[in-house]
Amino acid sequence: MRETLTDRFRFLRAFVANPRQVGAILPTSRWAVRDMLDLADVPRADLVVELGAGTGVQTGEILARLGPNARLVSLEIDPDLAKLLDERYDDPRLQVVCDSAENLDAHLGGKRADVLVSALPYTSFDAGLRRRVLDLLPVALAPQGVLLVIQYSPLIRRELRRRFPSVQQKITPWNVPPAFLYACRAGTS
Ligand SMILES: C[S@@+](CC[C@H](N)C(=O)[O-])C[C@H]1O[C@@H](n2cnc3c(N)ncnc32)[C@H](O)[C@@H]1O
């Protein structure tokens, strides 16, 4: 409980310092994170990649589901939040990277993600950054991989549909505000 309050404060502080980069005043709820991860098969993934890890609410749940020999690469652009993640999770499967999602390719060692989890605030990004990051997503994903996206509006759906033949949408009420979840696949099945 105490950690949750401290995390909320850290998150709010990051938002006040850089509102367009953080894009929300509260971390995602654990229930919404679970709803999102249920849309993919994390236990069978060899490589999971997380974009915009924040205070780690998704990181912790991904690690809880991840196999013993799998890897999680978590990108977070805010140095204070990246440091928090590094200190919080002492897990050899996790690599925390303090860098922009734009540079994702440089951190995957030529591998592609089986599950790619994005909590980036696309609608508050400028158009150029949004396009650069969205264009990278299909390339970073393994052929049978799944991209999971959490957003607070459906505005990004059209952009996802332009890049992925299969886009499944779900709304989770277990978050403030209720969140739109997307599971995107290269194949149509
Ligand atoms: C809406 S918050 C989500 C945080 C956390 N995953 C959660 O669900 O509570 C977006 C996060 O993305 C990070 N971020 C924003 N732009 C980024 C970028 N270009 N590359 C990597 N992380 C970025 C922010 O610092 C922030 O922590």
- Residues 133-161 have pLDDT tens digits of 999 999 999 999 999 999 999 999 999 99
Average pLDDT (56-74) is 98
pLDDT tens for 10-61 read 989 999 999 999 888 889 999 999 999 999 999 999 999 999 999 999 999 9
Strand segments (E) across the chain: 47-51, 71-75, 94-97, 113-118, 141-151, 166-172, 179-185
For the cut 70, the answer to whether the pLDDT of residue 189 exceeds it is: no
Q: For the residues 55-71, what does the mean pLDDT come to?
A: 98
What does the pLDDT read at residue 66? Answer: 98
Q: Which residue has its alpha carbon closest to ligand 1 atom 24?
A: 22
| Ligand 1, pocket residues at CB < 6 Å | 21-24, 27-28, 51-54, 57-58, 75-78, 81, 100-101, 119-121
Q: Whose CA is nearest to atom 11 of ligand 1?
A: 52
The reported pLDDT for the residue numbered 24 is 87
Q: What is the dihedral of CA 135, 136, 139, 144, to 10 degrees?
A: -90
Query: Whole-model pTM?
Result: 0.95
Whether pLDDT at 173 is above 90: yes
Nearest atom (ligand 1) to Cα of 24:
1
Q: Is the pLDDT of residue 162 over 70?
A: yes
Instruction: Write the residue with the smallest CA distance to atom 2 of ligand 1.
Output: 22
Specify the residue with its C-alpha closest to ligand 1, atom 5.
54
SS3 147: strand
Q: Which ligand 1 atom sits closest to the C-alpha of 26?
A: 9
Domains, the chain, in order of start with CATH, read 29-185 (3.40.50.150)
The pair of structure tokens assigned to 102 is 């734009």
pLDDT digits (tens, 9 = 90+) for 79-101: 999 999 999 999 999 999 999 99
How far is the C-alpha of 83 from the C-alpha of 97, rounded, in Å? 9
Q: Which helix (H) or strand (E) holds 35?
A: helix 30-37
Report pLDDT for 2. Answer: 56
What's the gap in Å between 166 CA and the centre of ligand 1? Answer: 24
